[in-house]
Structure 1
């Protein structure tokens, strides 16, 4: 137990990096980290370096695993299951795709085009940006393992329930006709060598980092400002878990935004430290990642308005329920 705690503190929370950045800010910049400016600079440097280190390592590992599950193979696996078991498997497979919701939509189109039920593909679409393996590790590094595991369970339940409801509503007619017009070509999947998989993983690291680096810098910058310049009383007054409306506000504010979960995590960290409810900040993160405006615009091109509204409504209600549940039971997780 002591060894696990030490590894967790050094590898995930990177206490060694925290100490190095403290020395940098104090001895090189000549600033006190307990001051607003010194504290903000420390928060920014420490979180940026930590997130990029973890992100690079995790995306490499996850992409290597993902190389065993190309779209055609994933479609074949999902095709063997029916009903809620297919929704569960789709949600689980979504966790090994380290993509934002916009990048998941082409796979959603491919699965629907290949004849998979739309409820199954929606379970994948919800899970993929919401519960990827990298975000789990980062949540554990910023909060703790109990919160990370609870978040994963909530996200998977939301993906399974959301996809199942859409399946039961029989909404296939609200998928645009062109999605079904050309069936996927069945091709034998070329077996990749270990070297191929490593190259694929390196490529994925480069591509994903290029997509998210700006959001990380912006997110950490906002987190640093919240952590050191906004009074705790202000955050608690608006987003405290004792405020019945805080989850609603956080969810509705998060939905139209576009950022990656890696950029929203530092904001969530700063808000929780300032007194915001755990469920409130997690519902904000879920809204940003699962229902970002650009991804909804892309999805509108392949589904009709009624299906899009139902999808957004189901996920929004699910996120709000998750937020209130986290706030109610946060004392068990913190």
Structure 2
């Protein structure tokens, strides 16, 4: 008997089904809520590692981020798969594509701003949106904006540098996310997304239509999709997070001030190239930005560096490789980096120091 047949043969009542889903949601929320304090306790209190050391912060980062991203993958992919079962991929694209795509890019970038994800944490939502049939360009606008512009970075930047640089940062981040996503969408890069992302499966088989599915079928689809995607991406997940843990919080200040100083006309380009291999969120890199600003580095160069760190991190690219082909990853990096470099030079012209 197939999985679908076993589900249909089940005698579960609607009450038991919804109670089970509610209990699963509560367990998910509790695990997500205790994830950070639990690993802080294990790594710092039980193992005795120093939170200020590279080893202590790296170990904590790896275990905490691994669990967090797995939980996000489970929650987001399950919910999106169930919702997708009510609407075909073709219908979703018809609603969000074409002339509405520009509006979709703006909406996706705005959604990214209010979701405080780092680049790797935004990947589960990205996978869910692509699987739901949302146009790839619109989804990429979310992927860029979510780590690039968030409320924590806005608050810190305002406190350190005032309203002018903060407003320019927010505006530039949104423009980069919208324009880059729209440009990538116009290039029709869907062919560079791995085919399994677009498939709808039930009982291990691809199905062409979701019409007539029961709630039990839709829930089973969500469970199967979570298991399928986790099986496909877990090596990339662990490698990406391990790399992020190894370089977490690290940046060579002396090298930066020497080769990306105010006197170098290629400073913005150097800052972006230096930022891509690193990994942090906007809040984590802000103290470095302030320290380098105090040493006389221009604001545009520093913001270009910060944007490259949070929007184009190497661990994020490793995670994305399982769902995107190398051609799309390279195009995504090129288009986004070009926007960041342009903004960096613009900032340097408007706010030299």
Tell me what 1:94 maps to: 112
Q: Distance in 2 between matches of 1:107 and 1:132?
A: 16
Cα deviation 1:199-219 (Å, max 9, x = unaligned): xxxxxxxxxxxx9xx99xx85
Contact 1:127–1:156 (CA under 8 A) maintained in structure 2: yes
Determine if the alignment matches structure 1 residue 268 to structure 2 residue 289. yes
Task: Quickly say closer, same or farther: Cα 1:80–1:248, change in 2 above 3 A.
Answer: closer
Q: CA deviation at 1:239?
A: 2.7
Tell me what 2:72 maps to: none
Query: Which of residues 187, 191, 196 is equivalent to 1:169?
Result: 187
Tell me what 1:118 maps to: 136
Tell me what 1:293 maps to: 314
Tell me what 1:26 maps to: none
5+ residue gaps, structure 1: 1-69, 188-210
Q: Distance in 1 between matches of 2:96 and 2:343?
A: 31
> Which region of structure 1 is more displaced relative to structure 2, 103-112 or 117-126?
103-112
Pairwise CA RMSD: 3.2
Cα deviation 1:229-274 (Å, max 9, x = unaligned): x7xxx97653333420111111100001111211210010011111
Tell me what 2:154 maps to: 136
Task: Quickly say closer, same or farther: Cα 1:99–1:242, change in 2 above 3 A.
Answer: same
Aligned positions of 1:34-49 closer than 5 A: none
Q: Distance in 1 between matches of 2:112 and 2:341?
A: 21
Contact 1:241–1:279 (CA under 8 A) maintained in structure 2: no
SS in 2 for 1:258: coil
Contact 1:241–1:327 (CA under 8 A) maintained in structure 2: no
Tell me what 2:274 maps to: 253
Contact 2:271–2:301 (CA under 8 A) maintained in structure 1: yes
Task: Quickly say closer, same or farther: Cα 1:71–1:93, change in 2 above 3 A.
Answer: farther
Query: Which of residues 79, 98, 101 is equivalent to 1:83?
Result: 101
Contact 1:251–1:283 (CA under 8 A) maintained in structure 2: yes
Q: Number of residue pairs matched?
A: 227
Tell me what 1:181 maps to: 199
Task: Quickly say closer, same or farther: Cα 1:137–1:268, change in 2 above 3 A.
Answer: same
Q: Distance in 2 between matches of 1:85 and 1:304?
A: 26
Determine if the alignment matches structure 1 residue 328 to structure 2 residue 346. no
Aligned positions of 1:132-281 closer than 5 A: 132-182=150-200, 219=249, 238-281=259-302
TM-score (norm 1): 0.61
Q: CA deviation at 1:165?
A: 0.7
TM-score (norm 2): 0.58
Cα deviation 1:50-97 (Å, max 9, x = unaligned): xxxxxxxxxxxxxxxxxxxx9699999995671211101110110011
Q: Distance in 2 between matches of 1:265 and 1:291?
A: 16
> Which region of structure 1 is more displaced relative to structure 2, 322-331 or 240-249?
240-249
Q: Distance in 2 between matches of 1:246 and 1:163?
A: 26
Tell me what 1:54 maps to: none
Q: Distance in 1 between matches of 2:317 and 2:145?
A: 15
Q: Distance in 2 between matches of 1:317 and 1:80?
A: 26
Q: Distance in 2 between matches of 1:272 and 1:283?
A: 13
Q: Distance in 2 between matches of 1:146 and 1:72?
A: 42
Cα deviation 1:268-326 (Å, max 9, x = unaligned): 00111111111111111111100111100001110111111100110111111111111
Contact 1:235–1:275 (CA under 8 A) maintained in structure 2: no
